[in-house]
């Protein structure tokens, strides 16, 4: 399988190189040259398999010869062996034909672990083979950072730097990043919001001398391997609920558009997905895009679902590439316009977008009400991101005969204040979080400035005079 850039002018790479690169050298994102498909019979044959076996069968065509079958099965087994539920991502019924897909049973209690644990193993296998050293730099709105740190802490040949917006992640999220003791872990609090952190990250990647000097590698959801890992649970959930013999709908709490783009990929592969609902909080650029046809940035308003406080959804570029018939130069032009504020989709592109996706936005009050409603109806506590999804799923429910699955993206204990405010009950603290909540914090503050970041990273990575 070969990978091409959404902007059409970076080298075509194999899976392993695309994974290690993260961002393409023309500033675009890597996508498969063609979409592999699974027949109805192949999908039906997934019924009753373990999560690990389904993961192997769904991802295999994308990985090509980067890993042998045995290597790949081993990586998958180690990744999901650290989840605390035998189903890995269990489905829980919340209504007559309504379900939550619990994606938070990994080590940091958010869905980011599903992908990050896998790519941790992929990177490790690949680096062990080549003896290369790399510097991972990631930007986080809260959960990616801890998941990346958990996946790479103490690993040979890897330094990990995580940029998070100072003061804009929850206490639990911050402590998960600042308390690990391993020397290869560096938590950096940047003066700005998540979009600033993500923009500086792109600056680092687009400075090719720096990039090559420190051996920069990206694990944000711009990394194709992460999106790929998330395709798997659309298959396990849909097959458990009757696919391929009937369609299944999904609602996805959305920030950077990685998780829901994985749903789009599953559909391209042949999985019969009914509705695919984009759920946003008050930072609703994607919902506005569907409503108005204009993709225009606003300013980020901090919310009680902070992992979705984003106005520039990086993975939307991957969808634009599809909507514009895989015309790299057209995508490059649109992204240039987005840098200056935004753009209007062409009629054709908007028609396709609306044909494939639904969307809804949850205000802060609606999010709180959805947490309270879930508690009243089921006795379950849900995190505020999941609640945004529950609200959107209700607004865009569609045919009641089609199962609706809302992705439950984090454990409620990661956001205890919002949950308690809505229900009067404070979620119990899982043992896995207790470690993060004790112990001293280690963090460096950094200006919203690429030169300052480069100096800090070069020093931390032990690389002299990169420029
Ligand atoms: C990252 C995250 C999201 C958003 O996922 P994207 O792939 O960025 O759209 C939603 N909820 C939680 C808890 C997250 O950590």
Cα angle value 303/306/311 (rounded, 5°): 85
Specify the ligand 1 atom closest to the Cα of 253.
10
Q: Is residue 382 part of a domain?
A: yes
Q: Is residue 385 part of a domain?
A: yes
Residues in contact with ligand 1 by the CB-under-6-Å rule are: 110, 112, 143, 221, 253-259, 307-308, 385, 409-410
268 contacts 316 by C-beta, under 8 angstroms: no
Residue 418: domain span: 91-107+224-423
Q: Is residue 460 part of a domain?
A: no
Q: Is residue 295 part of a domain?
A: yes
Q: Report how far ligand 1's centroid is from the alpha carbon of 69 (Å).
A: 30
pLDDT-based confidence at residue 431 (cuts at 50, 70, 90): confident
pLDDT-based confidence at residue 250 (cuts at 50, 70, 90): very high
Q: Is residue 17 part of a domain?
A: no
Q: Is residue 162 part of a domain?
A: no
pLDDT of 138-181, one tens digit each?
998 878 999 999 999 999 889 999 999 999 988 888 999 999 99
Specify the ligand 1 atom closest to the Cα of 221.
7
Specify the ligand 1 atom closest to the Cα of 385.
11
461 contacts 444 by C-beta, under 8 angstroms: no
pLDDT of 92-129, one tens digit each?
999 999 999 999 999 999 999 999 999 999 999 999 99
Q: Is residue 306 part of a domain?
A: yes
pLDDT of 388-400, one tens digit each?
999 999 999 999 9
E-strand ranges in 202-353 read 216-218, 248-253, 273-280, 294-296, 342-344
| Contacts with 210 (C-beta within 8 Å, 6 or more apart), sequence order | 204, 216, 454, 458, 466, 467
Q: In the chain, what's the furthest Cα-to-Cα distance?
A: 62
pLDDT of 400-420, one tens digit each?
999 999 999 999 999 999 999
Name the residue with higher pLDDT: 169 or 449: 449
Q: Is residue 145 part of a domain?
A: no
CATH number of the structural domain spanning residue 277 = 3.40.50.1100
445 is a catalytic site residue: no
Q: How many structural domains is the chain composed of?
A: 1
| Contacts with 340 (C-beta within 8 Å, 6 or more apart), sequence order | none
């Amino acid at each position: 399988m070969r990978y091409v850039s959404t902007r059409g002018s970076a080298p075509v790479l194999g899976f392993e190189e695309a994974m290690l690169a993260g961002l393409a050298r023309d500033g675009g994102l890597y996508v498969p040259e063609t979409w592999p498909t699974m027949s109805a019979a192949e999908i039906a044959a997934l019924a009753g398999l373990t999560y690990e076996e389904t993961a192997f069968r769904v991802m295999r065509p994308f990985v090509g010869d980067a890993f042998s079958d045995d290597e790949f099965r081993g990586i998958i087994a180690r990744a999901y062996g650290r989840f605390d539920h035998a189903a890995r991502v269990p489905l829980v019924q919340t209504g007559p034909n309504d379900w939550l897909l619990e994606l938070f049973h990994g080590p940091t209690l958010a869905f980011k672990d599903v992908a990050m644990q896998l790519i941790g193993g992929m990177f490790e296998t690949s680096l062990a083979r080549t003896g290369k050293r790399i510097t991972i730099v990631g930007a986080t709105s809260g959960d990616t950072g801890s998941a990346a740190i958990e996946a790479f802490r103490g690993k040979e040949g890897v330094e990990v730097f995580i940029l998070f917006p100072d003061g804009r992640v929850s206490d639990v999220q911050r402590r998960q990043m600042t308390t690990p003791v391993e020397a290869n872990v560096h938590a950096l609090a940047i003066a700005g919001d998540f979009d600033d952190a993500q923009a500086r990250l792109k600056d680092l990647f687009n400075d090719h001398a720096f990039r090559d000097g420190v051996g920069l590698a990206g694990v944000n959801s711009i990394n194709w391997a992460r999106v790929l890992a998330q395709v798997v649970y659309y298959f396990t959930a849909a097959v458990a609920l009757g696919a391929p013999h009937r369609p299944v709908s999904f609602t996805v709490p959305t920030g950077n558009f990685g998780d829901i783009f994985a749903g789009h990929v599953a559909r391209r592969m042949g999985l019969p997905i009914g509705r695919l609902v984009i759920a946003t909080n008050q930072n609703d650029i994607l919902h506005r895009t569907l409503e108005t046809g204009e993709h225009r940035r606003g300013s980020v308003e901090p919310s009680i679902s902070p992992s979705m406080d984003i106005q520039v959804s990086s993975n939307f570029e991957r969808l634009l590439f599809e909507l514009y018939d895989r015309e790299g130069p057209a995508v490059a032009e649109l992204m240039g316009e987005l840098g200056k504020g935004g753009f209007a989709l062409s009629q054709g592109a908007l028609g396709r977008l609306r044909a494939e996706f639904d969307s809804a936005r949850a205000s802060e009050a609606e999010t709180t009400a959805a947490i309270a409603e879930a508690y009243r109806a089921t006795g379950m506590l849900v995190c505020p991101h999941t609640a945004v999804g529950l609200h959107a799923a209700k607004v865009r429910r569609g045919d009641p005969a089609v199962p609706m699955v809302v992705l439950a993206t984090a454990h409620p204990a990661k956001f205890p204040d919002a949950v308690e405010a809505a229900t009067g009950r404070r979620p119990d603290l899982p043992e896995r979080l207790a470690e993060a909540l004790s112990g001293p914090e280690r963090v460096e503050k950094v200006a919203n400035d690429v030169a300052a970041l480069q100096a800090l990273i070069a020093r931390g990575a032990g690389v002299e005079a990169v420029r």
